Amino acid sequence: MRLKGRVIYEGEAEGDALVTSQPISFYGGVDPGSGEIVERGHELRGECVKGRVLVFPYGKGSTVGSYILYRLRKGGLAPAAIINERCETIVAVGAIISEIPCVDMVDITKIGRDTRLRVSGSTLVS
């Protein structure tokens, strides 16, 4: 499989896909001390984002979410890359300041959970 999208933050990364059809709030939804998704009712609750290619439609919540991504990066717990259908400002700023490769305008329904993904610029390959 080969998909193309729009680059938010360019880079190269590889990891197993952690896929959800639900938006993610990094502030209150992801524990910056463990990298675990803790949002009550979220389908990924209990999963860790560390080293995974995090695939979700868009972010939600407070602008503090950008800083949570930064804390995850500084603590060695950040996702390897972020793939969105539509990357909004919170996730975009977080990816940029944390130097996490980020691509949007991708049909995430074509990406299966635990698929090994390689992100290179605007291209995703499994």
Task: Provide the annotated active-site residues.
Answer: 62
CA distance from start to end of the chain = 5
Residue type, 13: A
Gap between the Cα atoms of 96 and 20, Å rounded: 22
The partner residues of 124 in beta bridges, in order of sequence, read: 3, 119
User: DSSP letters of 43-100?
Assistant: TTTT-B-TTSEEEES-B-S-THHHHHHHHHHHTT---SEEEESS--HHHHHHHHHHT-
